């Protein structure tokens, strides 16, 4: 077990697997009475951190909603990530970066290097250029006890065009991403959407169970936490279910209770 796998297991054991997304959509900011500016994004992010701390163990800021505010948005993001890590939360930066050579290595340096202004505990990545294109990022993650979650099977309907294609041995690309992540012994996990039909994308739950799985798509995207045992079956114990708009929509006053309710639902899953 790698250092990141051990850290993740410790967090899940202590606080459960629920992950709360920090997604400051313009509509959510409006519902909270916050401006759609960097100051509003910062305020929402810090309030989510305060509500999450002590309740759950993992948060996932969606970088796009910070990035749209330029330099000021990134400054806000730095504060939110630092506050979350200071509060003892494990931070997965949802950046979905991917490239080759020194370019992709620089992405890893930005998000996974201790002391970086954007230092997170893990990042999401895309391996369209081949899983091996992430070798440098995964090596950096391993060196520093960090993690990388590689997209395998996503919930958007367009994904099937690529992710269900089969390689020479008949394995789908989605499953190949899972297999390659397994080979990293816990440094790399995968992203599998909660609305995905595992059989349709060629992923055996018994195989998926061998790797950490970040599972977005619960709530606003249509998947229900109560359906996860049927969706993921034997892989349920590897799942980190992500909820975002479904709890953020409760507003700043109801956020804590919404997180508690989601955490109770996840805790009721059969293990």
Per residue in 212-246, pLDDT tens?
Answer: 999 999 987 789 999 999 999 999 999 999 999 99
- pTM, entire model: 0.97
**Residues acting as catalytic residues:** 96
Once rounded to an integer, what is the mean pLDDT over residues 68-72?
A: 98
Q: Which residues pair with 223 in a beta bridge?
A: 218
Q: What structural domains does the chain harbor? A: 3-265 (3.20.20.70)
> Could you give the percent of the chain with pLDDT greater than 90?
96
Q: Are 48 and 83 in contact (CB under 8 A)?
A: no
Once rounded to an integer, what is the mean pLDDT over residues 70-86?
A: 98
76 pLDDT more than 90:
yes
What's the pLDDT at 221? 79
What's the pLDDT at 45? 98
48 pLDDT more than 90:
yes
Cα distances (Å, whole numbers) of residue 194 to 52, 70, 146: 22, 31, 24
């Amino acid at each position: 077990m790698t250092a990141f796998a051990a850290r993740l297991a410790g967090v899940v054991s202590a606080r459960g697997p629920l992950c709360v997304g920090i997604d400051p959509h313009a509509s959510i900011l409006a519902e909270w009475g916050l401006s759609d500016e960097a100051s509003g994004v910062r305020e929402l992010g810090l309030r989510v951190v305060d509500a999450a701390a002590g309740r759950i163990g993992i948060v996932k800021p969606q970088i796009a909603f910070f990035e749209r505010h330029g330099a000021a948005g990134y400054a806000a993001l730095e504060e939110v990530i630092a506050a979350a890590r200071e509060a003892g939360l494990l931070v997965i930066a949802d950046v979905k970066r991917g490239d080759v050579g020194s370019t992709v290595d620089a992405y890893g340096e930005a998000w996974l290097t201790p002391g970086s202004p954007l230092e997170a505990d893990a990042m999401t990545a895309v391996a369209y250029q081949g899983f091996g294109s992430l070798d440098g990022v995964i090596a950096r993650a391993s060196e520093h006890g960090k993690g990388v979650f590689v997209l395998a099977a996503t919930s958007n309907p367009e994904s099937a065009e690529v992710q269900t294609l089969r390689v020479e041995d008949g394995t789908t690309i989605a499953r190949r991403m899972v297999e390659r992540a397994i080979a990293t012994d816990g440094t790399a996990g995968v992203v599998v959407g909660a609305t995905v039909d595992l059989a349709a994308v060629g992923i055996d739950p018994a195989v998926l169970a061998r790797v950490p799985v970040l599972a977005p798509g619960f709530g606003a995207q249509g998947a229900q936490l109560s359906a996860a045992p049927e969706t993921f079956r034997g892989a349920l114990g590897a799942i980190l279910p992500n909820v975002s708009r479904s709890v953020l929509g409760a507003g700043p006053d109801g956020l804590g209770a919404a997180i508690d309710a989601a955490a109770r639902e996840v805790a009721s899953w059969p293990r």
